[in-house]
Structure 1
Amino acid sequence: MRILVTGGAGFIGSCFVRMALGPEAPAPVSSVTVLDALTYAGNSENLAPLAEDRRLEFVHGDIRDATLVAKLVPGHDAVVHFAAESHVDRSIAGAGEFVSTNVLGTQTLLDAALQERPTFLHVSTDEVYGSVAEGSWTEEEPLRPTSPYAASKASSDLLALACHRTHGLDVRVSRCSNNYGPYQFPEKVIPLFTTSLLDGGTVPLYGDGLNVRDWLHVEDHCRALFAILRDGRAGEVYNIGGGQELSNRQLTERLLSACGADWSSVLAIPDRKGHDLRYSVDSGKIRAELGWTPLHRFEDGLDRTIAWYRNNRAWWESPASHLAE
């Protein structure tokens, strides 16, 4: 299988690429082309373990560049689309870039895919469903996004599914819960808190800290994506959840303990605008149909993640290392 991976130098995308070309790849992959704009959250060093692998081609470019995308899609059996603006706080401060990249960029990719007809795996988020007080969202639930980020992802989901229904393109959509693991840019809560605490700094906790998120190790997420690529059905949506729900306060408690800090390191800050109380997706469909199940225990995965940041300071200490040259 020849795969084009958008956003393949980012946190989740680079994990997928390393897995695809690793010794225990979940599917036979003959080549991977990575298209990445190398914004602040993309880092070519995330692909350094594959630097000598001739099966990998890296292209520095933007998914909104229709001419470039039209040249890259031909010759690939699948497009796995990770590239997106993904930080809620940034979307609240300014939504324009989120609409441009997540919506128009996705449509640019779909237009090119219609000419070549590869399998198109659109990687989305549980945030498109909005908040749920109890129970878990299934794939049949209507989308009720509340943040500009989530709204832009919901829009791109619908564009991708419409492309299947209108044009018959083999589109498959995944919606995952919060990911954690190595190589995540320190703006999301686990790497942000971990790197600050390792340096003896303070960490910000929104509101009362009772907002609940479900945590999924990035490697389990990527294994699920391979299962969808191999055995998923065209036009279907697959929820991917880790089955580990924690309030932000509970997560903070674990991070403080692991980093040798206490609650004096926590700064209470006003809650985020429109802050959803709880996300929870029902993963029964992907478990029953594709036989996927997460392998990482959260406690072990979190310990290994913290150890990775402790042992790889050079990766996160210099902001310049995360910017395009």
Structure 2
Amino acid sequence: MSTWLVTGGAGFIGGNFVLRAIAQGVKVVNLDALTYAGNPDTLASVQDNSLHVFVHGDIGDRALVSRLLQEHQPDAVVNFAAESHVDRSIDGPAAFIQTNVVGTLGLLEATRDYWKALDRERSDRFRFLHVSTDEVYGSLGDTGAFTETTPYAPNSPYSASKASSDHLVRAFHHTYGLPVLTTHCSNNYGPYQFPEKLIPLIIARALADEPLPVYGDGGNIRDWLFVDDHCNAISRVIEQGRVGETYNIGGNAEKQNIEVVRTICALLDTRAPRSDGQPHSSRIVLVEDRPGHDRRYAIDASRLRDELGWAPHYTFEQGIAETVDWYLSNQAWVERVLDGSYRLQRIGAAV
């Protein structure tokens, strides 16, 4: 039985990954600081599962991380822990540097020391997988896609902090030999996503009969990746990826933001129609754009496909329908998330 130390495993992607790993028989030691986006409710179904060990703590706490590594002897460390919302990084970049850069450094140092003390067989088998984002590559024009060799050009404090952590991970491989893997994903969506991101925000505001804000002209393009497909890809990279390599993970689903919002509205028109009979799309409103808003992201995931045989299972149409249905069936989860610290307000407008 494998044991993985997963950081940030109470967040959106991390939580989905933990649930999936445990269902496949992996023991997970789940380290999460439980910031505003970390939600223990996401893990309710595995609360009493012997394969799940939850630890409340910070990746930058070197003593804690070292103790967990020694106590549980994991075969892999999977680093999801990060401040991740661009708008919040505009309002307060310091927290992103502290967690994404300084915290990752502490995690790398503790992991390096643990790995160096392993016997040869376990040392060869061990992996450190760092989960990153396509935003480190900057913005694309009308054509082309990000590959693993695209030069870094981060345009927000968030993406700059993730680019910095990527470089640290690379450096620890080349300097110390730590067996690392890095993944860059496109925009994730699905169950358990904190309702500050576009898709759950629009669902929540539509159900609250509030205006549906869309930045700029709505023409910003993202490649949408259903979270279960992302988690499947990460597991594949841990088990089969080449040490020291980077793998891009995309959903093959480029959509304009306005198109995504209209799709959600159409689904809600049939599943949760407005009391006044008007379509949900009538509440769409274009608002002032985010400062430095990247125009287009697109992922070339051919390395992952060709080397490891991975491809997304969900089309966007399948994934978005499943996502809307999940939020409609889990309003109690949403209500507990919206505890007063975040009330669907606009953030990230500061310049």
Task: Output the TM-score relative to the length of structure 1.
Answer: 0.95
1:119-149: CA deviations, max 9, x gaps? 1000000000011111111101111000000
Establish whether residue 92 from structure 1 lines up as the match of residue 90 from structure 2.
Answer: yes
Within 2, Cα distance between the matches of 1:262 and 1:196?
A: 10
Within 1, Cα distance between the matches of 2:35 and 2:247?
A: 28
Match of 2:275 in 1: none
Cα offset for 1:320? 5.9
Q: 1:301 aligns with which of 319, 326, 340?
A: 319
1:103-128: CA deviations, max 9, x gaps? 00000000001111241000000000
Secondary structure of residue in 1 paired with 2:323: helix
Within 2, Cα distance between the matches of 1:120 and 1:305?
A: 30
Match of 1:121 in 2: 129
313-322 or 120-129, larger mean C-alpha shift: 313-322
Cα offset for 1:253? 1.0
* Alpha-carbon contact 2:203-2:324 (below 8 Å) kept: yes
Match of 1:61 in 2: 57
* Alpha-carbon contact 2:14-2:80 (below 8 Å) kept: yes
124-133 or 193-202, larger mean C-alpha shift: 193-202
Match of 1:107 in 2: 105
Secondary structure of residue in 1 paired with 2:299: coil
Q: 1:46 aligns with which of 37, 42, 46?
A: 42
Structure 2 spans left out of the alignment, 5+ residues? 116-125, 270-278, 342-351
Q: Give runs of aligned pairs for residues 5-84 of structure 1, distance below 5 A.
A: 5-22=6-23, 25=24, 29=26, 31-74=27-70, 75-84=73-82
Secondary structure of residue in 2 paired with 1:39: coil
**Equivalent position amino acid for 2:51 in 1:** R
Deviating beyond 4 angstroms after TM superposition, the runs of 4 or more aligned structure 1 residues are: 320-323
Within 2, Cα distance between the matches of 1:297 and 1:281?
A: 15
**Equivalent position amino acid for 2:109 in 1:** D
1:165-210: CA deviations, max 9, x gaps? 1100000000000001000000000000011112222211101000
Q: 1:165 aligns with which of 174, 186, 198?
A: 174
* Alpha-carbon contact 2:222-2:296 (below 8 Å) kept: yes
Within 2, Cα distance between the matches of 1:56 and 1:313?
A: 25
Q: Give runs of aligned pairs for residues 123-272 of structure 1, distance below 5 A.
A: 123-133=131-141, 134-260=143-269, 261-272=279-290
1:271-305: CA deviations, max 9, x gaps? 11000000011100000000001101211111111
* Alpha-carbon contact 1:34-1:58 (below 8 Å) kept: yes
Within 2, Cα distance between the matches of 1:308 and 1:43?
A: 16
Cα offset for 1:321? 6.0
Q: 1:313 aligns with which of 318, 321, 331?
A: 331
Within 2, Cα distance between the matches of 1:204 and 1:35?
A: 34
Secondary structure of residue in 2 paired with 1:205: strand
Cα separation, partners in 2 of 1:195 and 1:250, compared to 1, 3 Å: same
* Alpha-carbon contact 1:315-1:321 (below 8 Å) kept: no
* Alpha-carbon contact 2:194-2:337 (below 8 Å) kept: no
Within 2, Cα distance between the matches of 1:78 and 1:292?
A: 20
1:15-62: CA deviations, max 9, x gaps? 11111111xx2xx52x11000011110001111111221111000011
Within 2, Cα distance between the matches of 1:259 and 1:148?
A: 34
Secondary structure of residue in 2 paired with 1:318: helix
* Alpha-carbon contact 1:81-1:123 (below 8 Å) kept: yes
Within 2, Cα distance between the matches of 1:114 and 1:141?
A: 28
* Matched-pair identity in %: 51
Structure 1 spans left out of the alignment, 5+ residues? none
**Equivalent position amino acid for 1:184 in 2:** Q
* Alpha-carbon contact 2:129-2:182 (below 8 Å) kept: yes
Match of 2:118 in 1: none
Question: Once superposed, what is the RMSD of the aligned Cα atoms?
Answer: 1.3
216-225 or 251-260, larger mean C-alpha shift: 251-260
1:56-101: CA deviations, max 9, x gaps? 1000011111111111123111000000000000001110000000
Establish whether residue 3 from structure 1 lines up as the match of residue 4 from structure 2.
Answer: yes
Within 2, Cα distance between the matches of 1:201 and 1:136?
A: 35
The number of equivalent residue pairs is 318
